[in-house]
Amino acid sequence: MAEKEQTKNESFSSLDDNWETDVNVLSNELSELDTEDTDKSDWMVCQPMLTFSSEMQVFQRLLGVSMKPNPLDDWDQLYNLNNQCALRNDCRKLANELKNKRSVPELESFLTLYCKKRGMDYVKDIGWLTILEKLLLLNLPAAHEFNVFFAFTTKYIPKDTRPNAQIYDLFRLLLQYHDPQISNHLEALHCSPSTYCKQWFSTLFASSMSTETCHELWKIYIEQGDPFLVFHFAIVFLINAKEEILQVKRGEQAQAVQILENMASQLSVEDVTDFFQLALHYSEKTPECIRKDFHYIIFGANFDEEIKEMQMNKMLCLPIPAIDLASSDEMSSGNVNFFIVDTRSNADFDSGHFVSSFNLNCVAIVDEPEKFEIALNSLECYKTSRRAEDHYLILGYGSDEEDNYMNMLIAMFIQKGKAHVSFVQGGYQSKWKSFHKKNLRCFVSELHDCIGQHNRWELIAMHSEEKCHLCSIEKASPKWGFFSKVKSAVSNTSNRMKERVEAVVFPIGDDRKLDDKLNHADSKQRHGKRYRQQSVFTIDENSDEELTPGAAVDENPKEEILLSKEFTETFECQEVFRDGSINGHIALTRTHIYVLHDVPGKQGYVTTEARHALSTVVAVTSRRSVPEMLTFKLGYEMNGSSKITAVHKLYVPKAGECAKAVKLAIYALRPLPDA
């Protein structure tokens, strides 16, 4: 009788809103039966079955694997991993944990195929066994277990949780952004995130929670569709344990780690909803560009050793890319509005600054500390009274030497425990370039739509081309003749001018016509991103920065590059823009796709225009009328929808072979077959 009562209580804890309706209908049917004992018996049998079926459907539907075939039905059955013995021993331990409901050969086949699909060897203590144990306890259909496990681990589990992985540096910056006090205290205890977050991130809290709580948290996590919530889950745990952690004295690192581990184990099924809402609160208070810029580094199926190294361990606070701030008229990212503090000198600020920014000459920290303290207090009072909800965004020059004083201000804010402090990556120089490019492209790529709109330079208050150091450098360089002609004709015949601009795009091979009609910039101006349609977010650092004009390292002999062993396939192409086209090549490696451009004035030389990871290819399309014209759309997925960050339109004579090669390269990285 006690067992029956316990089962009944446990079943009530898993009910949801839909279950209440089913219970009312079921209760009416049971009331017609003769005895109360029969009623209780049917209740106990039906309720767990319905809950179990609902959980199965949720995980299969949300992970998109309901219609996928089971890879275990057809594989080579070769157990030849380098670490196969260690895998087999761990499978024996897992079989014991599951009370031998799954045999060792079953588990070994499962994990061996998983490692081969990921293209990596088996690694001990990486969290896979803990996650697999929790998923197998869901009693999913055997045909869907592998696909659910593969989809869940590749989409929602960070791909690298080794002690020196970048995920811990990013978490340190996020924790400092939301609560610098607890972040500073943990650093004083020499308690790095890898000491207490490794099991959280590698198993998504499966190693610290009960099975029921873990399943409930995972279900809501997958429903939200945002892998970055794992960071905010961890932040909620830390902030809830703040009072206890602040009482831990130096030298007692183990005690702090123990407190945090207990926080996760104390979470119950009833607490999951409130816990999730708190995580969403911190997610909304985090700049959206962070999710976009770090998604490929933290998540994904591929372990790519060529991942961009941002040296986050050396950063004082969260970096905000300048390109994201130039994408709209308001200085914001997602739900976050920025309070910009310009740390440049008064003279540089007067020659040009961004609307609503405030000048705080940080040289005064050393030269005139008393005056600086007065200016800082006045600035803080204004922010508190007028823009209390805005987040601090520190803007410097963009040079390591000139930004030493900016770093002093950031350190001062962090020491005072100020939350929501970030800096502009690349400084004023990067923002100036972003606005400059958008202003140039305004009359070319969006000619008709831009008429009557304000000039983007209006976002820079008091901008003086004579005093601005960056503008003076730009004036010294050769002018873009074609842009000047278009700009002068806009005010009279905008529609006709738009047709003329579009007509400039010539078919491939007509080099004479291209040279006669287009007045392009010289070779020094053609190595940058002037001819791109839109700002591009890529994995390679160089694709996010202006390439140095005339840098010899960017210009390489075409024959040497195309015959490089690094490239598996190369195709001649011509990249098409609204203002013309450029001859070049598409080159594929095992993990990336390159767009190479011929160097004007240097026959036989090419330069790298763009480099994208194959995992960022969202779609490759072609036109029926011109099948040789391929459009590559690149980006990332968030909340079930695709975010396009780059587009390349390429005229490829061998378009069919090129599309096939790209497809095979992507399949080699993501071998799980589609429905």
Residue 270: pLDDT over 90: yes
Q: For residue 117, is it within any domain?
A: yes
Domain boundary among 245, 276, 307: 307
Is there a contact between 460 and 352 (Cβ–Cβ < 8 Å)? yes
Q: Report pLDDT for 54.
A: 54
**What percentage of the chain carries pLDDT values higher than 70?**
68
Give the DSSP H/E element, type plus range, for residue 198: helix 193-203
pLDDT tens string 438-471 = 443 443 333 333 333 334 334 444 445 555 555 5
Q: Report pLDDT for 309.
A: 55
Q: For residue 172, is it within any domain?
A: yes
Q: For residue 574, is it within any domain?
A: yes
Is there a contact between 126 and 161 (Cβ–Cβ < 8 Å)? yes
Burial of 572 (0-12, 13-18, 19+ CB in 10 A): middle
Please give the Cα distance from 441 to 532 (Å, whole number): 9
Q: Report pLDDT for 110.
A: 94
Q: Report pLDDT for 228.
A: 92
**Spatial CA neighbour of 460 closest among 470, 451, 450, 452:** 470
354 with 396, same domain? yes
Residue with tokens 């996650």: 131
Q: For residue 511, is it within any domain?
A: no
Alpha-carbon torsion (41, 42, 44, 49), positive or negative = positive
- Two structure tokens written together for 470: 């960056």
Q: For residue 220, is it within any domain?
A: no
**Spatial CA neighbour of 571 closest among 593, 599, 604:** 593
Burial of 245 (0-12, 13-18, 19+ CB in 10 A): buried
Please give the Cα distance from 131 to 97 (Å, whole number): 13
152 with 285, same domain? no
**What percentage of the chain carries pLDDT values higher than 90?**
31
Q: Report pLDDT for 140.
A: 86
Q: Report pLDDT for 507.
A: 40
Please give the Cα distance from 665 to 663 (Å, whole number): 5
149 with 171, same domain? no
626 with 663, same domain? yes
Please give the Cα distance from 321 to 290 (Å, whole number): 9
151 with 182, same domain? no
Residue 86: pLDDT over 90: yes
Is there a contact between 245 and 186 (Cβ–Cβ < 8 Å)? yes
Residue 275: pLDDT over 50: yes
Q: Report pLDDT for 119.
A: 86
Q: Report pLDDT for 294.
A: 84
Is there a contact between 394 and 341 (Cβ–Cβ < 8 Å)? yes
298 with 338, same domain? no
Q: For residue 674, is it within any domain?
A: no
Please give the Cα distance from 418 to 384 (Å, whole number): 12
How far is the CA of 503 from the CAs of 68, 493, 533, 534, in angstroms? 46, 15, 17, 20
Give the bridge partners for 340, in sequence order.
Answer: 393
- Residue 348 sits in a domain whose CATH number is 3.40.250.10
Domain boundary among 279, 307, 335: 307
184 with 253, same domain? yes
234 with 296, same domain? yes
- Residue 639 sits in a domain whose CATH number is 2.30.29.30
List of long-range contacts for 84-91, beta carbons under 8 Å, 24+ apart: 84/112, 84/122, 86/122, 86/124, 87/111, 87/112, 87/115, 87/122, 90/124, 90/129
Q: For residue 484, is it within any domain?
A: no
Lowest mean pLDDT among 95-99, 155-159, 190-194, 638-642: 638-642
- Residue 293 sits in a domain whose CATH number is 1.10.472.80
DSSP E strand boundaries for 578-628: 580-588, 592-598, 605-613, 617-622
Q: For residue 414, is it within any domain?
A: yes
Residue 11: pLDDT over 80: no
- Listed in sequence order, the residues at least 6 apart from 666 whose beta carbon sits closer than 8 Å to its beta carbon are 614, 615, 617
573 with 638, same domain? yes
* Mean pLDDT of all residues in 502-515: 41
Mean pLDDT of the chain: 75
Lowest mean pLDDT among 66-80, 301-315, 337-351, 602-616: 301-315
177 with 299, same domain? yes
- Listed in sequence order, the residues at least 6 apart from 587 whose beta carbon sits closer than 8 Å to its beta carbon are 561, 562, 567, 569, 570, 571, 593, 594, 596
Is there a contact between 422 and 394 (Cβ–Cβ < 8 Å)? yes
Number of Cβ atoms within 10 Å of the Cβ of 654? 14
635 with 656, same domain? yes
Sorting pLDDT into bands at 50, 70 and 90, what band is 535? very low
Number of independent structural domains in the chain: 4
Give the DSSP H/E element, type plus range, for residue 38: helix 36-62
**Spatial CA neighbour of 356 closest among 322, 323, 382:** 382
Sorting pLDDT into bands at 50, 70 and 90, what band is 175? very high
**Secondary structure (3-state) at 101:** coil
Please give the Cα distance from 218 to 208 (Å, whole number): 13
265 with 364, same domain? no
pLDDT tens string 300-355 = 655 544 455 567 888 889 998 765 554 444 567 778 888 999 998 888 888 777 77
Q: Report pLDDT for 451.
A: 33
Domain span at residue 104 reads 56-156
Please give the Cα distance from 617 to 539 (Å, whole number): 12
Residue 103: pLDDT over 60: yes
Q: Report pLDDT for 76.
A: 86
Residue 274: pLDDT over 90: yes
pLDDT tens string 407-434 = 999 999 999 999 999 998 888 765 555 5
How far is the CA of 38 from the CAs of 11, 28, 41, 299, in angstroms? 18, 14, 5, 51
Residue 475: pLDDT over 90: no
Higher pLDDT, 34 or 609: 609
* Mean pLDDT of all residues in 81-98: 93
Higher pLDDT, 471 or 35: 471
Give the bridge partners for 574, in sequence order.
Answer: 583, 651
Helix residue ranges, H only, 68-162: 84-97, 104-118, 128-136, 142-156
Lowest mean pLDDT among 167-171, 303-307, 311-315, 664-668: 303-307
Sorting pLDDT into bands at 50, 70 and 90, what band is 538? very low
Domain boundary among 272, 307, 342: 307
Q: What is the CA 43 to chain-centroid distance, rounded? A: 47
